[in-house]
Chain A
Amino acid sequence: MNDVAIELAGVHKEFLAHGERVQAVRPTDLSVRQGEFFSLLGPSGCGKTTTMRMIAGFEEPTGGTVYLDGRDVTGVSPNKRDVNMVFQSYALFPHLNTYQNVAFGLERRKVARDEIRRRVGEIMEIVSLGGMDKRSPREMSGGQQQRVALARALVNRPRALLLDEPLGALDLKLRQQMQIELKRIQREVGITFVYVTHDQGEALTMSDRIAVMEAGRIDQLGSPREIYERPATRFVAGFIGTSNLLDGPVDGVEDGVAVLRYGDGDRVLVAVPESVKPGGALEVSVRPEKIDLSRDEPTGTTGSVLSGVVTDVVYHGTSTNYTVRTAAGPDLVVFDQNAYSAEDLAGPGDRVFLTWSAQHSYPIGVS
């Protein structure tokens, strides 16, 4: 029993665009585990769709090997690969009804008619489309078409299901509903999902693991929590949620904790690997919701402390967002949950103190 469903070994892809070689995907190693919900996340043009299309067989890698279930499938045409894809445009067959759409894959594999009927019925129940067999795709709403596309792929029980921004065309409410649906369906059928998206919220809520891609390269691969809490690069820190990036000289390193000082009691503490030595510059990321804001000077804190002036206050319902100018580089953003505060902690122009514990700062780009 092999528990790796998909493996990419040194896979890369070059395109010729206007006579120039463009590296759409740089040499990439990646393995997707059996039964996991794996997301490829990144902005448009980062190579995530090309990576997926190389797994499906619609693009041939310029170099490297694609393995499905341990078998080398590089150069094998899409109709002979045991993976199925859900297209961004759904790509339903407009001249066939729902049943014929869903049965298409099974018919190609010469499955017996009774068996086809049984399996199509089964999958239609799972995607909540029972009784819609005779409907034509154009008589269905976007959400329903989405489910047909899903059923058409899942009914074949592929080794892995590849989803290319499948919720992109739906409105927000339906998208959130479908996110939960998709996760439920994935648990129910137990098939490996590879999910391409540019929506970081979607990737965070649904995935077991996420690969964040930028400019044809995987910047970071890890669980949603790892990626959110400990962004490995400046790009990941900025792309996933909101991040504050501070930089400054390393004043000293003690017990694996570096201190960045900005004079007059302002300091940022961050746990660092051994490679970081005093004297160099360091970039540190801290999430806005980890920072406490107060008008009173903190006493006896062992964590990071920065003083500054509030420049902007925006009320967001569940939280209030403060922008604070400090000595540590660009303005910091602080989210204060409105669970306890009945009114704003400070107004524009107020002098405030920002504190957070050392464990909430992460060094960027060091290993």
Chain B
Amino acid sequence: MTQVLEPETRQTPPAQPTATRRNRLTGGRVLHAYTWLVIAWLTLPVLIMILFGFNDTPGRYNQTWEGFTLKWYGRVFELDELTRALVTSLLVALATMLIAGALGTGIGYALGRYRFRGSGVLNLVMFAAISSPELVMGASLLTLFVSLGVGLGAVTITIAHVMFSISFVAVLVRARVLTLDRSIEEAAADLGANPWTTFWRITFPMILPAVGSGMMLAFALSIDDFVVTNFTAGTTTTFPLWIWGSTRVGLPPQVNVMGTLIFLAGVLIAVAASIRSRPRRRV
């Protein structure tokens, strides 16, 4: 009997951990697979875009894999119209980023710091601008510009882009300001700093991360905006508008190359930001 019992008692204790470990292992595998699935889902379209930038296709049709080449990277600025559209897009995005960044920061700071007449309404308008459909916004902007007799072009595109991206900057800055300890600014005043110095030496560096991400968001929203741009562009062509216009006749590989470069720039900025904001070691 003891001979039968002994191995059993020896086996029983590790039996349970093995079962849970097996459970944990299967659970881990499922989670693993699921994670990779999500990553694939998110990156596959981008990877296809990057891949077809290296496609050795002879003509304008870039839909079947013909072999690897680097020639499109050498001839990326060969299509003048496309290059001009990209430059317009970059300039508009840059202007939008700067204007929306400056104005949005001011609005966000005011909303986060002070209660003033109309601050409630302004708050509401900010969120309304974020949530209103782009089609409605674009159509009404077109009506507005036409009825004011403003000629459509890069300027109206920029005005429109600033209009919808300013809210994002303001909301981000406002959220950051709300978390700030009010007494830090009071301390600056207490130490002899006037309001101007207090803002630039103390407040601004503290809200800079929010201003930075707001501006990046404004740039990103502007450079690939299609709907609002389509209404307000007139005869001006931006990068997304050009792509839309040429899909019917086939997309040249240069578009993939430019898309890849824009994507890489974005990744670089994101990586740099995450390295910078990595929490430092406490002593």
Contacts and interface: CB of A to CB of B under 8 A. Distances in A.
Interface of A: 56, 58, 77-80, 83-85, 87-89, 91-95, 104-105, 108-109, 135-136, 138-140, 152-153, 156
* Size bin of chain B's contact surface: 20 to 34
A80 B184 CA distance: 17
A106 B281 CA distance: 30
B181 interface: yes
B189 A93 contact: no
Nearest to A164: B183
Interface stretch (B103-111, B190-198, B245-253): B190-198
Given A135-B283, A139-B280, A140-B283, A93 B202 contact: yes
B136 interface: no
A139 B283 contact: yes
Contacts of B192: 79-80, 105, 108-109, 156
B254 to A, nearest CB: 43
Given A77-B189, A79-B194, A152-B191, 5 more contacts: A79-B189, A80-B192, A91-B186, A93-B184, A136-B280
Nearest to A81: B190
Interface string B262-283: 0000000000000000001111
A108 B187 contact: no
B49 interface: no
Given A139-B280, A139-B282, A140-B283, A87 B183 contact: yes
A156 B280 CA distance: 31
B206 A94 contact: yes
B28 interface: no
Closest 6 interchain pairs by CB? A105-B191, A108-B192, A91-B187, A91-B183, A87-B183, A95-B205
B190 A85 contact: yes
Contacts of A80: 192
B188 interface: yes
B222 to A, nearest CB: 29
Contacts of A152: 187, 191
B115 to A, nearest CB: 12
Contacts of A140: 283
A58 B202 CA distance: 18
A290 to B, nearest CB: 42
B193 A104 contact: yes
A56 B192 CA distance: 12
A108 B194 CA distance: 9
A306 B281 CA distance: 64
A108 B195 CA distance: 12
Given A135-B283, A136-B280, A89 B193 contact: no
A216 to B, nearest CB: 22
Nearest to A152: B191
Contacts of A77: 189
Nearest to B181: A89
B191 A108 contact: yes
Contacts of A56: 190
A78 B280 contact: no
B65 to A, nearest CB: 51
